[in-house]
Amino acid sequence: MPYEEDDVTRLIMDTHDKAAFARLAHMTVGQFRDWLLSHEADTATLSAVAPGITPEMAAAVSKVMRNQDLMAVARKIRVVTKFRNTIGLEGCLTSRLQPNHPTDDLKGIAASTLDGLLCGIGDAVIGINPATDSVANGLALLDMLDHARQQYDIPTQTCVLTHVTNTIEIMNRGGAVDLVFQSIAGTQKANEGFGVTLPILQEAYEAALSLKRGTVGQNVMYFETGQGAALSADAHHGLDQQTVEARAYAVARAYNPLLVNTVVGFIGPEYLYDGKQIIRAGLEDHFCAKLLGVPMGCDAATPTMPKPIRTTWTP
């Protein structure tokens, strides 16, 4: 996609760290794969070269790697983020508690939240998908969640997964916003389909930082992505869905997120044929994101069922 016509392309090129890239510049894609799998590419080294890796480089090398290769390299990479707790430490698994309710009934959501906490879920975030996507509803839900969090001194963060423009207005009204959520994609046109631009994301990022609600860190953004999103919006510009998906991680990386989830399989069965492809897509996304320095989790969904079963994990 031409630099002049796509702001994601401009972001990738303008933020590319040439000094970090210098260590890799002489390599072919195959040599890059071999190096990633070598002992030389340890945790510290992979962190150092991450700013020099473009999404297209990550997607290309993933295509010549086996599933085992993707897991072996991703395991070496540590992407640690912080807000009220710390996510991404070795050997630690964090999960999102998702107490949705068909009518956004506050008592129903509170009951589901308690149930999830008793099961040990919610250290990544307590995040609600609202049935009604409005500023007023978002304010009410966030107020209830924040009250519960403070009442029981729960060391986590809360979020209502409303549109980013709603969250900006909620912050303007003094709402209890911990994390700003938004679905993102790998092209300007696809992001516009979500009703979002890079300047809007920057505005939300700066507003959330100004609240200073984090206690151990200030990673304030929460993104979701998914292979097939750009294709379904006819905004992929001829790119294969894995490469255009990896470009979304460059968008995420620019805003230092606490969490990013790839919603593997939820976009629809027309993009991922079966469970084998869903597993492969999840491993590709996890690998590419971590290689770029993005904290990636996986929201595995079953697209063939009337009501998808969704389980979120963040390694």
In what order do the strands lie in the sheet containing 221-225?
Answer: 180-183, 221-225, 259-262, 296-301, 310-313
d(CA 313, CA 271): 22
In this structure, how many other beta carbons lie within 10 angstroms of the beta carbon of residue 283? 21
d(CA 101, CA 267): 21
Instruction: Check residue 296 and give its pLDDT.
Output: 95
Q: Name the residue among 314, 252, 251, 254 with its Cα closest to residue 286.
A: 314
Instruction: Check residue 229 and give its pLDDT.
Output: 83
* Cβ pair 131, 101 in contact under 8 A: yes
Could you please report the per-residue DSSP string of 95-128?
A: -EE----TT--HHHHHHHHHHHHHTT--SSEEEE
Instruction: Check residue 305 and give its pLDDT.
Output: 43
The stretches of the chain forming alpha helices (DSSP H) are: 7-14, 18-21, 29-37, 43-49, 55-62, 67-76, 106-118, 135-151, 164-172, 188-193, 198-211, 229-232, 241-253, 275-291
pLDDT per 10-residue tile (average), the chain, 315 residues: 94 97 97 98 98 98 98 97 96 94 95 95 95 94 96 96 97 98 96 96 98 98 90 88 95 98 72 83 95 91 47 51
Instruction: Check residue 268 and give its pLDDT.
Output: 53
Q: Where are the domains positioned within the chain?
A: 79-313
Instruction: Check residue 278 and give its pLDDT.
Output: 85
* Cβ pair 271, 232 in contact under 8 A: yes
CA angle 289, 159, 198 (to 5 degrees): 50
Q: Name the residue among 259, 62, 73 with its Cα closest to residue 179.
A: 259
Q: Would you say domain 79-313 falls under CATH 3.20.20.70? A: yes
> Burial, 83: exposed, middle or buried (Cβ in 10 Å; 0-12, 13-18, 19+)?
buried
d(CA 137, CA 139): 5
Tell me the CB-side half-sphere exposure of residue 215, using CA atoms within 13 A.
9
Strand 158-160 versus strand 180-183 pairing type: unpaired
